[in-house]
Structure 1
């Protein structure tokens, strides 16, 4: 575990050397990704500068910026809220319209409205509401996306998958074609691919209407709405598969499907269990229900033997998926390889159509 801690610490420091705040990396060092948080050690600047708070009924009073952060950090810590100090720093920065605390102008007037906003947001964190929902946004690579409860918050592992897909896009002559994402959530994966491959089109599907709406909202943020079509549908319904087939075939199929087992669902952090969509997490008793459906329908959706299927799955599932494909030749898939995530554990599966 100490090696994993050091790896994460060093990675975070490289990404945000100025203050070490793990904006991207809260809730990331997990047992199975969603179960147990590992806090990143502190590395942010300490501020002792004071703010003037303007009050309509009294003279200005002085409040220490560091004291403001310390007070709320202590309250969250006493309540056993994970990443308490990181949470407070992110909330305070957001109250000032910034991403990081070190970006806040120390001469800014700290109004009653800002203090009230910080108190309200920190109070939500006390209830274990994820910071991403509280501040309403989160970073995915170089894209700041809107977050909306209960749509699943993108994890760093999915950032890795997005990079891999772009790097290994199957068409050698030109980076073009159409891909399908099953379970688009916030739209993070699809929108990143579209932003890096300007000749590519996307069809995205999700059974959550809130997720579909959020994907379109985020697409508009980056002027990508004309290159993505979002379908509200359930892949377990033949009507949805038929609609997806009519819009295909696809050069690439990507998915970060629900893959947690029923036992793993019982061990979720309060932030995840209480606020994120369980339908985007639970993959059935063995975690493979949705994965098996995707494998079975891929031959009806992807284009030819150059077409690729990418999956982000649980830590013990790549070998199970490989065995499923071997036992079901009717799926017409070849298991190509397993790629490790940044913790050096098998996370991403690459498959290819045989026909």
Structure 2
């Protein structure tokens, strides 16, 4: 059945065919709109206003192929379009980087709020495990005059991050390395990180869209998902000058264990666990007293 071309002619019919096809195969029907907007190069409101228009033949072929590919393999929409959205901006993404998640926007907002509340002029910020660069680049764009660095172990990820930084006209400096390793001599006001935090044992329960397409090194960590936090905090203990704020994204069951790591390694910091929009523990913020 898959080989037959669907018979729709208008954009509205294309949308209906795709939504239904996705639903029948337990995929998000909303993917239909995202792919249509991409292939037509339209905004969501154009899609609603002009859905009587005929579907252009060359768009139809690519659209149908992408919808089917998503159904068959779970390949994320962002890999089909090459674009991930974060904090109101578009970023290039591919298989070498984690697709940006809306929860991470709250981590960024927390950092921005801290810097504004403390009235820090030209703050020094480092984003550890920067991936596509979304956290570092967003902070640089939202906080003009700040000195922002990004670090990642993956050369491929840094290549994308550099492209994204240039595209947004931000002056972020990127380093290849293991978290703070090469920057331990420096001092920073804020350390922010969305590191790998999923335990390997949880892989079985995860969605194919994530497991098969997000890079494993961005998802999974040893020691029940706590290894990255332990590494970073141990590195911080070697810094001459401790940061004013450390902001971590965490797994929703890691609030207590990450707080315990802070208490063990950096007891002089004051920690708080914060929830995301869905009311799940999602961040640990630590402040110098």
What TM-score, normalized to structure 1? Answer: 0.73
* Aligned alpha-carbon RMSD (Å): 2.3
- Tell me if structure 2 keeps the 8 A contact 1:161–1:312: yes
Of 250, 270, 284 in structure 2, the residue corresponding to residue 349 of structure 1 is 284
Of 253, 278, 282 in structure 1, the residue corresponding to residue 216 of structure 2 is 278
- Tell me if structure 1 keeps the 8 A contact 2:150–2:172: yes
In the aligned structure 1, how far is the partner of 2:110 from the partner of 2:15? 38
**Shift of residue 245 of structure 1?**
2.5
1:133 matched residue in structure 2: 79
Which digits, 9 at most, give the CA deviation of each residue in 1:147-191, with x for residues without a partner? 211310111110011111101117834431211111101111111
2:105 matched residue in structure 1: 159
- Tell me if structure 2 keeps the 8 A contact 1:170–1:308: no
**Shift of residue 345 of structure 1?**
2.2
1:183 matched residue in structure 2: 129
Aligned pair 1:94/2:29, yes or no?
A: no
Of 152, 155, 161 in structure 2, the residue corresponding to residue 206 of structure 1 is 152
What TM-score, normalized to structure 2? Answer: 0.89
Of 233, 245, 259 in structure 2, the residue corresponding to residue 322 of structure 1 is 259
- Tell me if structure 1 keeps the 8 A contact 2:8–2:17: no
In the aligned structure 1, how far is the partner of 2:191 from the partner of 2:140? 14
Residue correspondences, number: 281
2:56 matched residue in structure 1: 111
1:336 matched residue in structure 2: 271
In the aligned structure 2, how far is the partner of 1:112 from the partner of 1:150? 32
Do the aligned partners of residues 122 and 301 (structure 1) sit closer, same or farther apart at CA in structure 2, a change above 3 Å counting?
farther
Do the aligned partners of residues 66 and 107 (structure 1) sit closer, same or farther apart at CA in structure 2, a change above 3 Å counting?
closer
Look up the SS of the partner of 2:198 in the other structure: coil
1:233-272 equivalence runs, <5 A = 233-235=177-179, 241=181, 243-246=182-185, 248-272=186-210
Unaligned runs of 5+ residues in structure 2 are 1-6
* The structure with more helix, counted as a fraction of residues: 2
**Shift of residue 69 of structure 1?**
1.7
2:244 matched residue in structure 1: 307
Unaligned runs of 5+ residues in structure 1 are 1-60
In the aligned structure 1, how far is the partner of 2:74 from the partner of 2:252? 26
In the aligned structure 1, how far is the partner of 2:57 from the partner of 2:68? 16
Do the aligned partners of residues 201 and 302 (structure 1) sit closer, same or farther apart at CA in structure 2, a change above 3 Å counting?
farther
